Structure formats: structure tokens, C-alpha cells
């Protein structure tokens, strides 16, 4: 079993949730504020999880026989991507909320 397979086996559920967020962000429309809000919440909780994993890279690297630096970089990269998604989804949600407010004010 290579290093990549070991990491995928240990973090199987986390990687599935990460992929779910990634798939949904790819299909996110700029008019879908409700989905953007849900994705912002999900990406923030997932980012917290990946940051926790990266902070425990020393201990976890011994369990999966992967270099500590490699595991830290891999998990920290996931954390940064999820934080960027979180920020993007917040922007989409805010724009949708403002557009909705403007529609109400026009009537």
C-alpha cells in the first residue's frame, strides 16, 4: 500500500465530505443564496477539521508511515482551499441577500 492509499484510507470520510463540497461549489449558481449559505457552513466546519488534522500531523504521520511535512502540507492545502470556498460562498450569499432586499424595496 503506497502513501496516497494510506492517507485516503485513514481520512476516507473527511475526503468524501471534502469532495461533496467541491462538487457542489462547481455547480453553484450566483443566484443560489441558500446553497451558498449551506456550503459556507459546510466548508467552514470542514476547514476546521482539516486544520485540526494538520496540527496533529506529527502523531498521525507515525500512524500512517508518511512524512510529517508531507502530511502537514497535504492537509493544510485542503484547509486553505476550504477557507477560500467559505469566503467565496459568503460573498455569493451576501450578494443574493442584497439583491433580494433591493427587489423588496422596489415594490
| Digit-coded pLDDT (tens) for 89-100 | 999 999 999 988
**What is the gyration radius of the CA atoms in the chain, in angstroms?**
17
Q: Model pTM?
A: 0.88
73 vs 14: CA distance, rounded Å:
16
pLDDT of residue 45: 97
CA 96 to chain centre: 21
Residue ranges of domains in the chain: 33-106
pLDDT by position in tens, the chain (length 107): 677 787 788 899 999 999 999 999 999 999 999 999 999 999 999 999 999 999 999 998 888 888 999 999 999 999 999 999 999 999 999 999 998 888 777 65
pLDDT for residue 10:
85
CB atoms within 10 A of CB 95: 14
Rounded CA-CA distance 79/65 in Å is 22
Q: What is the pLDDT of residue 100?
A: 83
Amino acid at each position: 500500500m503506497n502513501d496516497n492509499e494510506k492517507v485516503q484510507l485513514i481520512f476516507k470520510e473527511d475526503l468524501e465530505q471534502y469532495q461533496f463540497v467541491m462538487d457542489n461549489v462547481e455547480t453553484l449558481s450566483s443566484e443560489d443564496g441558500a446553497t451558498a449559505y449551506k456550503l459556507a457552513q459546510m466548508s467552514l466546519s470542514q476547514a476546521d477539521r482539516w486544520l485540526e488534522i494538520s496540527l496533529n500531523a506529527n502523531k498521525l504521520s507515525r500512524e500512517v508511515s508518511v512524512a510529517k511535512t508531507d502530511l502537514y502540507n497535504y492537509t493544510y492545502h485542503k484547509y486553505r482551499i476550504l477557507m477560500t470556498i467559505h469566503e467565496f460562498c459568503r460573498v455569493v450569499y451576501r450578494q443574493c441577500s442584497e439583491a433580494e432586499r433591493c427587489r423588496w424595496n422596489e415594490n
